[in-house]
A and B are shown apart, each in its own frame.
Chain A
């Protein structure tokens, strides 16, 4: 319980600091956001108007407090270009990004845990080296390049999957799924590679433990030994890394959405940058940061549930 309250306090502090960093980046470094948005040749009157609209004429600390209050109330700002609240815009685009993240996370888990466990149980054999070698390659492939190659192969040469774009889930679930297959693969590759390495290493550790030898001498079936005893005990690092990977998928999908022309959060961010719509950019960045912090928090809680020792530390 004490652990939980300490973690919650740390969570709140990190959230406030993440907000502050966002504010600092968008308000102090560039000088005048209004000038940045409209360009140097803008009409002075329009500039003053925009400054007033954004509250830039107020002292910086007042701006900061006003903004923080709004964020705490769930108001992420107002898009100057699209003339709509940022939160609503994010809400519209989120389903695509979330489905992509969930799909590639599922892929990652389904491939990497068995692969890592298999490599560990066949330690030192050719298959182990093949898996380690493949993961080395998977770690280094830039995912947007892989995405382009997948489009080239599956959409242009073989014509089995769409090259990009997205059909809404409500319109045609199967087509929606198909349009997410390639991007999910492209995004998952790196994560599969690193999670396989973690699983393998963690399993190798677990397999040398005494309880495995005890199980062996008791004559437990090999499969139950591997999956029930060894895997269960090597879950900790796997859960940690998988949690971080899921959080990182939200930001990672920015580039993938551009490659596959998916109308998700990343695309919205790039459009906002193109329009110099700073409130929108700021809102999306802050949103992603908050989600990352929250996912990491949930991972920590999972950690606590999985390993009772953490609670007493």
Chain B
């Protein structure tokens, strides 16, 4: 799933001429609709997480042995699982986990990747060659695989999941940042700044970096959706978030033996992942078109 990051990289690096013409001609209005819909959907997930954090709903691990595998009803909005735990509270808690892992690993990947890529693009030469070869080597490991490798040696759990997914997603940020630093080098405004006697550090921070921020932001939304998918896969495999705390992937795994009797148990967590990913994808698509100077 998340392993299609190379395609996403193609798109994000702007080699995606194929991408830009998807809504031909791309127009600001369509991109604004995408951004708004995506943002509203994300707010809904965030609201769910807040509901869980403020313990408005029952605790996610509270069991009620008398009410096992109860279908959705007034008392249990989304039904209960095989331990009689309320599915709604669990999905809400899972939303918290997904957002934490998604945001945490995206921030980590962005910080590391942008610094590495920026350094490579800024220094050029030997630095550039070395850093980019390592990044190429990292790209040989499809996202899920690298996360699995890291979690194997680090051990499961929330913190390590964030670390593993963050690290696995760093190469794309490095590539994008480097590409935009390289293209900024030859622009007129950098030449003008240099002619006026600005120091390299000033040029990077005040001119090059602000002009590269667009693709980085777009990549961040894409990475966040990939990260949430990866977290769900890892937890499904039992390598991510550990029980009894619920995560959407883990809930799917636990529900599988009961799905014939209680299909809502596999429907709801999967829908939650799907909903979040589509929200982030819409937001990313919208931002991409909106930030694209060729869009009118």
Contact = CB atoms under 8 A, between A and B. Distances in A.
Query: Do chains A and B stick together as partners?
Result: yes
A83 to B, nearest CB: 20
B292 to A, nearest CB: 14
A142 B274 contact: yes
A132 B134 CA distance: 36
Nearest to B8: A194
Interface string B192-224: 000000000000000000000000000000000
A145 B270 contact: yes
Interface string B257-270: 00110010011011
B278 to A, nearest CB: 4
A292 B144 CA distance: 13
A240 B138 CA distance: 19
A278 B155 CA distance: 13
Contact of B141 (A30, A152, A241, A292): A292
Interface residues of B, number: 52
Interface size bracket, A side: 35 or more
Interface of A is mostly: helix
Given A13-B133, A25-B149, A288-B145, A139 B281 contact: yes
B136 interface: yes
B7 interface: yes
Given A17-B137, A201-B22, A202-B18, A152 B7 contact: no
A201 B18 contact: yes
Interface in A139-196: 139-145, 148-149, 151-152, 156, 190-191, 194
Interface stretch (A72-80, A92-100, A210-218, A252-260): A252-260
Interface in A93-112: none
A30 B140 contact: no
A289 B239 CA distance: 20
B242 interface: no
Contacts of B99: none
Nearest to A155: B260
B278 A148 contact: no
Contact of B237 (A26, A202, A254): A254
A42 interface: no
Contact of B281 (A136, A145, A252, A269): A136
Contacts of B260: 152, 156
A289 B7 contact: no
B163 to A, nearest CB: 10
Nearest to A135: B22
Contacts of A137: 278
Interface string A49-63: 000000000000000
Interface stretch (B47-55, B56-64, B173-181, B228-236): B228-236
Given A18-B137, A255-B233, A149 B270 contact: yes
A10 B229 CA distance: 31
3 closest cross-chain pairs (CB), A and B: A17-B137, A145-B270, A251-B142
22 contacts: A13-B133, A17-B136, A18-B141, A30-B154, A142-B270, A144-B233, A144-B236, A145-B269, A148-B256, A148-B266, A149-B266, A152-B259, A198-B18, A245-B7, A248-B3, A248-B6, A251-B141, A255-B144, A258-B237, A285-B148, A290-B140, A292-B142
Given A201-B22, A278-B153, 15 more contacts: A18-B141, A30-B153, A132-B22, A142-B233, A144-B249, A145-B266, A148-B256, A151-B259, A152-B260, A194-B4, A237-B10, A252-B1, A285-B149, A288-B145, A292-B141
Interface of A: 10, 13-14, 17-18, 20-22, 25-26, 29-30, 36, 123, 132, 136-137, 139-145, 148-149, 151-152, 156, 190-191, 194, 197-198, 200-202, 204-205, 237, 240-241, 244-245, 247-248, 250-252, 254-255, 258, 269-270, 273, 278, 281, 285, 288-290, 292-293
